[in-house]
Amino acid sequence: MLEGLKEWAIQIVNSYGQAGLFIVAFAESSFFPIPPDVLVIALVMPPINASPFITAFVCTFGSVVGAIGGWFIGRWGGRPILDRLFNREKVQQVERLYDRYGVAAVLIAAFTPIPYKVFTIASGVFKLSILGFIVASVIGRGARFFMVAYLTDWFGEWVIQMLDKMMVLVLALGGLTALAYWLWLKWRSKLLKRENAIKRDLI
């Protein structure tokens, strides 16, 4: 399967280059099933040797633009479109993450095996702030694609041989990053509440 994905990716990038990466990243955030990571790897590796920075940037930009499209699909279509497009188990998993983490769930989403399009459409359905959603998407997806691009640039062919394990590493590191961000938000919220309480007591 991985070899087939690699061949497909090479055909896409040979034909369309960074434009092909943008299109796939855009589509994957709202309806397409193939993750763009494999295209990032194919572009950065020989014989193309594209810049890992530019490649990761294009992938992140395409993914975030597609995510905004997914948000509007969910906002306009409501809960029925979410239930129609995805199975109940995935929808319930995403709903639990939103209930627990709020906007930080979008950060976590960038590193979970659950397709990102479930989160983008769900964000519109659950009326998540569009600004918070965009910021979280940029951070989460950017962290993932820059990590993949630079790991590929540093380790080359080893990345293909160890793709499954590498993605586990990416998911683990990304999940820890998202968790740390969520904990920081909780700590900041408590600190602000304490400051406000002190100000009220002084008044």
Q: pLDDT at position 162, please?
A: 61
The confidence score (pLDDT) of residue 161 equals 63
Our CA dihedral for 33, 154, 112, 161, rounded to 10 degrees, sits at: 60
Residue ranges of the chain whose pLDDT lies below 50: none
Query: What does the DSSP 8-state code read for residue 115?
Result: -
Q: What is the pLDDT of residue 175?
A: 59
- pLDDT computed for residue 56 by the predictor: 96
Q: Look at residue 119 in the predicted model and tell me its pLDDT.
A: 86
CB half-sphere exposure, 44, CA atoms < 13 A: 31
Q: Where are the domains of the chain?
A: 2-202
24 contacts 63 by C-beta, under 8 angstroms: no
Structure-token match 């995510």, residue found: 67
Which among 98, 127, 104, 117 has a CA at the least distance from the CA of 177?
104
State the pTM of this model: 0.75
pLDDT at 190: 73
